[in-house]
Amino acid sequence: MPITEMLSRNARMYPHETALIEREPAVNRRREISWLEFESTANKFANALLASGVGKGDKVVHLMMNNLEWLPTYFGILKTGAMAVPLNFRFTAAEIRKCIGAAEGKVLVYGPEFRDKIDEISDQLHHVEKFIFVGKDCPEKAESYDEIIRKYPADAPDVTFFDYDSAAIYFTSGTTGDPKPILLTHDNLVSACISENRHHLQNHNDNFVCIPPLYHTGAKMHWFGNLIVGSKAVILRGMKPQWILEAISEEKATIVWLLVPWAQDILDAIESGEVDLNDYHLEQWRLMHIGAQPVPPSLIRRWQKYFPGQQYDTNYGLSESTGPGCVHLGMENMHKVGAIGLPGFNWETMIVDSSGNPVPQGNVGELIVRGPGVMKGYYKNPEATSNVLKNGWLYTGDMAQQDEDGFIYLVDRKKDVVITGGENIFPVEIEDFLRSHDDIKDAAVIGMPDNRLGEIPVAIVEVKLGRKLSESMVIEFCEKLPRYKRPHKVFFDKVPRNPTGKIEKPKLREEYCGKREVLNLEDRCLK
């Protein structure tokens, strides 16, 4: 069953039940659509694209902020047999131009937030034949989405495609270099539905709050677990602790996927008295899960103080594996918090050395995975594809180790390992240690070039609001670490993270190890 048929089936079985709710607390707006409205809108958009010449093998670029139109538009693209190409909403105009060119986008669908960027580069988008604008005051060069939806019929398009056909192109997050286009099939998308539902046991009565950006495989593929059983979801535009808790309370939500910073913000708000949990109805909230980045065990221990009966899970995955699910902790394995978990449903894992041979249990090596979500390859980049796809295995670039019970622990990104005096240092270990300090909100560790040792570890520390720290205080705290793992320098700054919570280490390396002179921040105190 193609993923588009899951939507059609829900429209037949639950036509008048709520499918999607959009909440925009900043402007006090709430909208919703039923499964039948979802299906009808997707069909109308598909018919409009088909009428404009879009067909199997074409690419339709999708550049929108999270809203109620996002998913119907995405499914409309899939229904034509063309490939959907969602783009990161943080991309600059130059990055948007580059990605559209790499994907050879024929149609560009975009929202009002990107009007200025598209105006800047529209003459350089040589592959794009049609612009569709989702919003008010449509530009002259574009066609209005609202007019399209009114104009075209809601009949299901007569298009045949197969599970092995290409369905979407997703771009990597760019945390380790330029974004690369990832080619996923319809079968990949369906496998994500099955794995997510098997892991988190969604049923028709669940309600999933979606906060992360839908362009990313993580957020959407978690929602796929609800799609497969026809249960509703809330698209929340904003991530303030009060807004998240209000959405859970008022919409009777049962599942929420958070990023580490948002979970920290909720806990900080509770502990500061800014939020009183007694003001919310949260008893139906059964599962909080986190993915997209390493999760400090100290955070989950804090969380359990305030939500003691709640299920917890963490998920590991890559865009190349169709998002999360190739490894997951499992709701029954709270005693293993700190691990990313076990092979996901229908997945295999190995930890290997540089030659691709399995390492002994407990040793650090590269995590590789094999399963139904592994991408078709990087679009028109056979060299990059051959570097990560070998004999059906996806080489993740993540360093990991396995304990005696088979649970996998993420050590660090292969490219982020700091080599100092011949010793390998895994920044995640130091970052977790730093975050255990009562006054530290977030931390990142990178390698700085050093004439004597090759590299030295340095820490970028984000201090909690209202707290004070100096470099010497942090270095003294780190004396509990082995000497070679202690940061040689400490810089106080906000830790940059992308929309899915990953630390943007290329930015930090450029900032602190690039051309710009690094300032001496010895004993600098921040509030």
> Tens digit of pLDDT for each residue in 175-201?
445 678 999 999 999 999 999 999 999
- Check residue 497 and report its DSSP letter: B
Domain regions of the chain by residue span? 1-198, 321-415, 417-513
CB 361 within 8 A of CB 413: no
Backbone angles phi, psi at 13, to 5 degrees: -80, -35
State the pairing for strand pair 311-318/287-291: parallel
Which residues are paired to 353 by β-bridges? none
Average pLDDT over residues 208-218: 90
- The yes-or-no verdict on residue 405 having pLDDT over 90 is yes
Query: Among the listed ranges 230-234, 243-247, 484-488, which one has the minimum average pLDDT value?
Result: 484-488
Q: So what's the pLDDT on residue 502?
A: 76
Q: Would you place residue 243 in the very low, low, confident or very high pLDDT band (cuts 50, 70, 90)?
A: very high
Most confident of the following: 18-32, 208-222, 495-509 = 18-32
The two structure tokens encoding residue 390: 């070998």
Q: So what's the pLDDT on residue 503?
A: 83
> Tens digit of pLDDT for each residue in 406-423?
999 987 666 777 877 656
> Tens digit of pLDDT for each residue in 8-29?
999 999 999 999 999 999 999 9
Distance CA 393, CA 343 (A): 13
- The yes-or-no verdict on residue 481 having pLDDT over 80 is yes
| CATH no. for 417-513 | 3.30.300.30
| CATH no. for 1-198 | 3.40.50.12780
The two structure tokens encoding residue 284: 């139906």
- The yes-or-no verdict on residue 520 having pLDDT over 50 is no
State the pairing for strand pair 83-86/389-390: unpaired
Average pLDDT over residues 214-242: 94
**CATH 2.30.38.10 matches 321-415:** yes
Q: So what's the pLDDT on residue 292?
A: 64
Q: So what's the pLDDT on residue 143?
A: 96
- The yes-or-no verdict on residue 30 having pLDDT over 70 is yes
Q: So what's the pLDDT on residue 421?
A: 60
> Tens digit of pLDDT for each residue in 285-318?
999 998 766 677 888 889 999 999 899 999 889 8
- The yes-or-no verdict on residue 174 having pLDDT over 60 is no
- The yes-or-no verdict on residue 353 having pLDDT over 70 is yes
List Cβ neighbours of 72 (8 Å cut-off, separation of 6 or more).
33, 38, 41, 42, 45
Closest by Cα among 352, 249, 256 to 303: 256
Closest by Cα among 136, 31, 127, 121 to 85: 127
CA 27 centroid distance within chain:
25
Q: Would you place residue 518 in the very low, low, confident or very high pLDDT band (cuts 50, 70, 90)?
A: very low
State the pairing for strand pair 181-185/166-171: antiparallel
Which residues are paired to 30 by β-bridges? 23
Closest by Cα among 383, 513, 357 to 449: 513
Tokens 């910073």 belong to 261
Q: So what's the pLDDT on residue 413?
A: 67
